Structure 1
Amino acid sequence: MNTIYCLVPKEYWEQWEIREHYLPRDYEQEGFIHATKGDELLGKVANRVYKEYEGELLVLVVDEHKTTSPIKYEQAKDGLLYPHIYGPLNHDAIVDVKSMQRTDGRWEIGASIR
């Protein structure tokens, strides 16, 4: 499976969806784009990072074989491996955009919005 996920608030994504690539707000500080792999890990990350977030949350579905920037799998503080994209995310690597839905106070991946 070559699909990875990038979480992004909807209003922030709307500033980038017409550009040729995407960069998150914290890219300059972090030096890479955070991503996850698998629905279960996506849910864990969303519920940790966006626990208090009240806005609309989206997930960029990325084909890691289509990215033009290198991807490195690196171990995080929680001991798990996460894909990190070292450079801009080219739009043709984004194969879908899905909504994230809250169910009983927890984030879950939703339907495609494209």
Structure 2
Amino acid sequence: MLIYKIFRAPEWADLQANGQTDGAPIDLADGYIHFSTAETVAKTAAMYFADADDLVLVAVQSDGLAPVKWEEARGGQLFPHLYRALRLDDVVWHKALPLVDGVHQFPALA
């Protein structure tokens, strides 16, 4: 199953340059890297990145990714949280997440 992380462009550039990241400021504060599912990522973008136009959507295969914990969050939904650095070689694909008329334009998600 693919899970998704939204990065601002400088955070994505940092991951590419360094080969790994401990995440965005919220991830550092919480002690794990926040991910979303295909069903929840658009709401995550709307809630936490509403006006951001420099986003990159990163897809990661959750199968075999450890340690990932599925924990209850927003509205009782389960969200995947990664309890280690995200490595560039964990990334399956990445795509720009453009903002058009106030709505982020997502690619087809599996």
The alignment's TM-score, normalised by the length of structure 1, stands at: 0.82
The structural deviation recorded for 1:104 is 3.0
Match of 1:86 in 2: 83
Q: Where do 4+ consecutive residues of structure 1 move more than 4 Å?
A: none
The structural deviation recorded for 1:66 is 4.8
Q: What is the CA–CA distance in structure 2 between the aligned matches of 1:108 and 1:86, rounded to whole Å?
A: 29
Q: What is the CA–CA distance in structure 1 between the aligned matches of 2:105 and 2:79, rounded to whole Å?
A: 19
Q: Does 1:7 align with 2:2?
A: no
Match of 1:32 in 2: 32
Long gaps (5+) in structure 2 = none
Match of 2:51 in 1: 52
Question: Which residue of 88, 92, 96 maps to 1:95?
Answer: 92
Tell whether the 8 Å contact from 1:66 to 1:93 is kept in structure 2 after alignment. Answer: no
Q: What is the CA–CA distance in structure 2 between the aligned matches of 1:37 and 1:77, rounded to whole Å?
A: 12
The structural deviation recorded for 1:110 is 4.0
Match of 1:65 in 2: 63
Give the length in aligned residue pairs.
107
What is the CA RMSD across the aligned residues, in angstroms? 1.8
Q: Which moved more, 1:16-25 or 1:27-36?
A: 16-25
The structure that is helix-richer by fraction is 2
Q: What is the CA–CA distance in structure 1 between the aligned matches of 2:54 and 2:16, rounded to whole Å?
A: 15
Q: Does 1:18 align with 2:11?
A: no
Q: Does 1:105 align with 2:93?
A: no
Tell whether the 8 Å contact from 1:64 to 1:93 is kept in structure 2 after alignment. Answer: no
Tell whether the 8 Å contact from 2:14 to 2:21 is kept in structure 1 after alignment. Answer: no
